[in-house]
Structure 1
Amino acid sequence: MNLLAVLKEIHQEVTPLLGQGNVAKYIPALAKTDPMQFGMAITLNDGQFYGVGSYEKTFSIQSIAKVFSYTLALRAYQNDLYKRVWREPSGTAFNSLIQLEKEAGIPRNPFINAGAIAVCDSLVTHYSPDKTALNEVITFIHECCGERTITFDQAVSESEMEHGFRNIALANLMKSFGNFENDVHSVIETYFQVCSIAMSAKQLSRSMLYLANNGTDPISRKNFISSPQAKRINSLMLTCGHYDASGDFAFRVGLPGKSGVGGGIVAVVPGKMSIAVYSPALNKYGNSLVGTKALELFTTKTGLSIF
């Protein structure tokens, strides 16, 4: 199969769709992002790489970072983590306060905002006082990606901190139910810094290979998590990785994946490859409009779906 030819076909077919949707204007630092950008990258388990468009353009990965954070938290706490963060689809908006209150401050899953904030809180506890959760997440990404230049965008994190009232409310609500261990302000600051980590589609496709290979990076041979844990993360990406559009993404694309409001999506083909797309204009659910279509076309053209 000529994967580069497939990517070129997809690039051509999605180009007329560029500009549809809206960038994440509620984060001022992202509001001026050019919506006409598109990049797509594939890294195979044997190290082969293919890319088209702006695949080397760095962008704020936002909620894609939740996969890295959750991996570290699951590695540190194992099954005890499920006492603080469940593993069910939410079926509601990714920043819902109503659902969190109804369920006594325990988030449905680690990929909605409340769940990711609880995961961040657990990492702050785990790494203090000798280390910081932010540095450990970035170091983990360096290990997954094989590059040491990746860091967070301070302007984006500060912009989110200035306007993150609902996320602060989610943290305080969890605190009121006893499901929060550290200072709310410091955890939320760490959470936004993690979300503002900047990567390219090429780097993302490389960094997620451990989830395409049972928890072990197939290139470096580093084992990051156990095979059962990798299975659980992939299952959560399939059922919860795209907020309340996760079912639709599974229906159209048929791969475990995680989106971010920065316009990125990463998807995993177990045993074969990791795929990342970047196109910053979002659909009504907060997922990349063109990126979702590109991944749908990819699995349709190649047959590389888990179904």
Structure 2
Amino acid sequence: MPGTEPLDLQAIVDDIHRELAPRLGEGKVADYIPQLARIDPKRFGMAVVTVDGQVFQAGDAGLPFSIQSISKVFTLTLALGKHGENIWKRVGREPSGSAFNSIVQLEHEHGIPRNPFINAGAIAVTDRVLAGHTPREAIGEIVRFVRYLANDEDILIDAEVARSEEATGYRNFALANFMRAFGTIDHPVDHVLGVYFHQCALAMTCIQLARAGLYLAASGSDPLTGHSVVSRQRARRINALMLTCGHYDGSGDFAFRVGLPGKSGVGGGILCVAPGKAAIAVWSPGLNQNGNSLLGSLALEMLANRTGWSVFGA
């Protein structure tokens, strides 16, 4: 149980890294995207960026990796900024209880995806980001937004990963065509998915990713620049969706074990938010059966236990 003494976050992060080191390589790397299958499964990075700008890191925190579905947090933020609450006419806000790429639920629910963090929901959100833009412009807007959040111009899209996803993304094409038939998405499917595959192929380090998520830890404003990103209410709602829907059908277990809003990606990354305290990013490519980073989830559970940062109390 954390006491009243100030936390030594660097010591906590170092201890977690050391304790997990014998288990590096556990889990299954996402091999259905050929470029991701090539990643060294023994990589592990962790970064904590506090709301006062301190950075604590361990392992491969400075190595870029494919953020994949973590990008859905940033595109949802963008789409809400452009279209406001109208977004919720196209996508729900409930946990899915199904795999991230399930098509069954879409049929039952007349083409309205259950939430913005499963693939179908994220594709519907990307369609809204695309409104009024060419695909190239929309991709540029997403990259500029993430660079702005991270305060780092060096963030890029990994073109090889984007091509790899496009070449193998048959199920995403099926989901998008299904939604187009129901009128959930407006733009040509190949345009929407072109943008979607590129946003998922953003390459970021744990340090950049934690920095980019800091606005969600600080009531919607970047605490280091003072810039307002979203309203306090919208930041709270994005965090609520991350807590309930951010880990596919493993979201309940993650809330149970970690108790922090988070969003995972099949590249092995997880972005987590400790409201009022910090943003945390972990990366370990081996996934558990729900498609979430196995060691990354464990690292965040250990961090929450040692800091008392769970939103449900210490």
- Please report the TM-score for the alignment, with normalisation by the length of structure 1: 0.98
Does the 8 A contact of 2:135 with 2:191 survive in 1?
no
2:75 is the counterpart of 1:69: yes
Amino acid at match of 1:82: W
Alpha-carbon displacement from aligned partner over 1:96-144 (angstroms, at most 9, x marks no partner): 101001100000100000000000011111x425972111111111111
CA distance in 1, matches of 2:22, 2:111: 44
Deviation >3 Å, runs of 4+: none
2:52 is the counterpart of 1:52: no
CA distance in 2, matches of 1:136, 1:69: 10
Equivalent of 1:27 in 33, 57, 68: 33
Alpha-carbon displacement from aligned partner over 1:33-61 (angstroms, at most 9, x marks no partner): 10001110000000011100000000000
Which residue number in structure 1 is paired with residue 154 of structure 2?
Answer: 149
CA distance in 1, matches of 2:142, 2:238: 16
Pair 1:180–1:188, CA change in 2 (3 A): same
Displacement, 1:18?
1.3
Does the 8 A contact of 2:135 with 2:195 survive in 1?
no
2:48 is the counterpart of 1:6: no
For 1:191-202, list aligned pairs within 5 A.
191-202=196-207
Amino acid at match of 2:124: A
CA distance in 2, matches of 1:296, 1:261: 19
CA distance in 2, matches of 1:209, 1:157: 26
Does the 8 A contact of 2:135 with 2:194 survive in 1?
no
For 1:1-307, list aligned pairs within 5 A.
1-125=7-131, 127-128=132-133, 132-307=137-312
Alpha-carbon displacement from aligned partner over 1:165-195 (angstroms, at most 9, x marks no partner): 0000000000111111001011101100000
CA distance in 2, matches of 1:35, 1:108: 31
Judge which range, 23-32 or 131-140, deviates more: 131-140
SS at match of 1:50: strand
SS at match of 1:276: strand
Amino acid at match of 1:72: L
CA distance in 1, matches of 2:108, 2:181: 13
CA distance in 1, matches of 2:25, 2:221: 38
Uncovered stretches (5+) of structure 1, i.e. residues with no partner:
none
Displacement, 1:297?
0.3
Which residue number in structure 1 is paired with residue 4 of structure 2?
Answer: none
Pair 1:56–1:130, CA change in 2 (3 A): closer
CA distance in 1, matches of 2:249, 2:191: 28
Amino acid at match of 2:120: A
- Please report the TM-score for the alignment, with normalisation by the length of structure 2: 0.96
CA distance in 1, matches of 2:156, 2:114: 29
SS at match of 2:49: strand
Displacement, 1:77?
1.1
Pair 1:129–1:198, CA change in 2 (3 A): closer
CA RMSD, 1 decimal: 1.0
